[in-house]
Amino acid sequence: MSRRRVASLGAALALACGACSLILDFDKPPDAGPADAPVDDTACMAFEPNDTPADAEAISPGTYAAAICGGGETDYFRFSVDGAQTVTARIEFMNRNGAGDIDLRLLSVDGATTIAESRTSNDFEMVMCPGGVLCTAPLPAGDYLLQVLGFNAAVQASYTLTLTVTAARPAAD
């Protein structure tokens, strides 16, 4: 498109919009703009299917990348403790004024009981056991779930989950 034609188009739009402001920049390639969605297919498909407690992805301590891709999606991860360990799970993401706000829960292995949860509007959520508000003692030996879910059904957000399991400190005498 010639610069004269772009200028004519801009002038026509200015007349049609009155007080509207429109800036067209044809100097940048089309792929230089921001992505239409805050998540990509690779992140959306990571660990799938893991949308129910029965389909929870088994993980060990480490860092994992995934995404909540809207439509009320929930991700579940299963891990084990030997009963003498401290568990810390943290997710990091971009809240984007609530459009990317995700929450984190520590659940019983069947998903029926919430042991600890974090539901803030920060760009991270963290649960600790013991050490959290709801979890004041080490977990008994066994399997547990982490649930990552959107604040509401429309939320879309890539996230990084970090699970740390360490030896519990001995009780003070």
Q: Mind listing the pLDDT tens digit for each residue in 8-28?
A: 444 544 444 454 444 444 444
Q: What is the DSSP letter of 56?
A: P
What per-residue confidence (pLDDT) applies to 137? 84
170: pLDDT strictly greater than 70: no
Is the domain defined by 41-167 classed in CATH 3.40.50.2300? Answer: no
pLDDT given for residue 110 in this prediction: 94
Phi, psi of 137 (to 5 degrees): -135, 160
State how far the Cα of 105 lies from the Cα of 120, in Å rounded to an integer.
12
Residue 172 structure tokens: 């003070």
Q: Which amino acid is at 31?
A: D
| For residues 160-169, average pLDDT | 88
* Residue 17 CA to its chain's centroid (Å): 39
pLDDT for 104-144, tens place per residue?
A: 999 999 999 999 999 998 899 999 999 877 888 888 899 99
Domain ranges across the chain:
3-28, 41-167
The structure's pTM equals 0.74
- Write the pLDDT tens digit of every residue in 50-63: 899 999 999 999 99
Single-letter residue type at 9 = L
> Is the model more confident about 162 or about 100?
162
